[in-house]
Amino acid sequence: MEVVDASAYLVIAEGTYLEGLSYDFRRGVIWYSDVIAGGIHGVRPDGTPVASFNESRMWTGGVMMNECGAVLSSGQGGIMWNDPDSGKSGWLIRYLEGLPINGINEMWPDGEGGIFFGTNDIDHVIAARDTRPTAIYRMSVEGRVTKLSDEVYFSNGIAHDPLRSRFYCSDTFRTSLVWDVTDDFSLQNRRTFFEKDDCDGLALEDDGTVLLTGFRSPGLITRVSPEGQELAPLITPDGSTTQIRFGGEDLRDFYINVVPGDGGDSLKEGRPLSGRSRLYRGRSAKAGMPVPPSRFTLT
């Protein structure tokens, strides 16, 4: 990726602590979450606000599109869906293994209409306590849920790279992980992908290069080849990036949520944030890997 000068970025939204991020190709809208102030908010690439919903719901770490145009959002209690056009909403999933869901963090499509998702320990995050172990699941387009791995302590950014049949996960405060993905979506051969204890959200370039955001990595996003080799970073504005997503017709526009440099540790330790968060638009010399919508039937 060509290094982008930080001055080339455009601020298109602000908030308290921005996390979840998704590009809505159908509407040309970027949907993002504010985990502290609450809600899902939509903005156009030029910064024009579009809509907001679930404004009292905090701790949404993941946002993703469904084929019908509904917006999926993770967080405390499970995954919700909202249709910005009709105003209808509901829950995609609220229980796992017969128990109410504590929290769900990031989501990623499985390529067959369903999704992968990772749980998180929101109760302990809110209380600024050490979190309990989490897990990775797959939910098929028919709604069947399968646990794929419980070898993750703090599940954060995830991605499935079908080009190489790999599954990536940021195990926040520890390291970045990778598995091999079998034809039946089982995860095998868990191993460290790249040593980065502040790994947060992630995305993929179209050649499989992994972009790892970091809440203690001000001014840059780490780029790593599929073989684990660190590449030239993506330079960002001041602050630490929590998530990145590609959009636009050629998938070369990208959007990043940037929070105060000490923001991640402030949340972990229950300290006040030192500043505001911003959503930026940038332009890349390389295209990103698309994030197709899920295809759930929502009623």
What confidence tier does 1 reach under pLDDT thresholds 50, 70, 90? very low
Going by C-beta distance under 8 Å and a sequence separation of 6 or more, which residues neighbour residue 113? 67, 140, 141, 294, 295, 296
Share of the chain above pLDDT 90, in %: 88
- pLDDT tens-digit readout, 94-136: 999 999 999 999 999 999 999 999 999 999 888 888 889 999 9
Domain count, the chain: 1
- pLDDT tens-digit readout, 268-297: 777 877 789 999 999 999 999 999 999 999
What confidence tier does 7 reach under pLDDT thresholds 50, 70, 90? low
Q: How far is CA 267 from CA 37, 38, 213, 219, 260, in A?
A: 13, 15, 17, 20, 11
- Residue 147 included in any domain: yes
Interatomic CA distance for residues 283 and 297, integer angstroms: 34
- Residue 290 included in any domain: no
- Residue 167 included in any domain: yes
Here the tokens at position 175 are: 């390291």
CATH number at residue 16: 2.120.10.30
pTM of the model: 0.95
Range of the domain at 146: 6-283
Name the phi and psi angles at 113, rounded to 5.
Answer: 100, -15
Least confident interval from 3-7, 45-49, 209-213, 262-266: 3-7
3 has a pLDDT exceeding 50:
no
According to DSSP, the residues that pair with 231 across neighbouring strands are 223
Mean pLDDT taken over the chain = 94
Interatomic CA distance for residues 93 and 171, integer angstroms: 23
141 has a pLDDT exceeding 80:
yes
- pLDDT tens-digit readout, 253-270: 999 999 987 767 777 777
- Residue 218 included in any domain: yes
Per-residue pLDDT at 124? 87
- Residue 265 included in any domain: yes
- Residue 232 included in any domain: yes
Q: Parallel, antiparallel, or unpaired: how do β-strands 175-181 and 210-214 relate? A: unpaired
The DSSP symbol for 264 reads H
- Residue 260 included in any domain: yes
What confidence tier does 146 reach under pLDDT thresholds 50, 70, 90? very high
Per-residue pLDDT at 72? 98
| Torsion region of 266: left, alpha or beta (phi above 0 gives left; psi -120 to 50 gives alpha) | alpha
- Residue 299 included in any domain: no
Q: Hey, is 215 helix, strand or coil? A: coil
- pLDDT tens-digit readout, 179-232: 999 999 999 999 999 999 999 999 999 999 999 999 999 999 999 999 999 999
The answer to whether 111 and 80 are in contact (CB under 8 A) is no
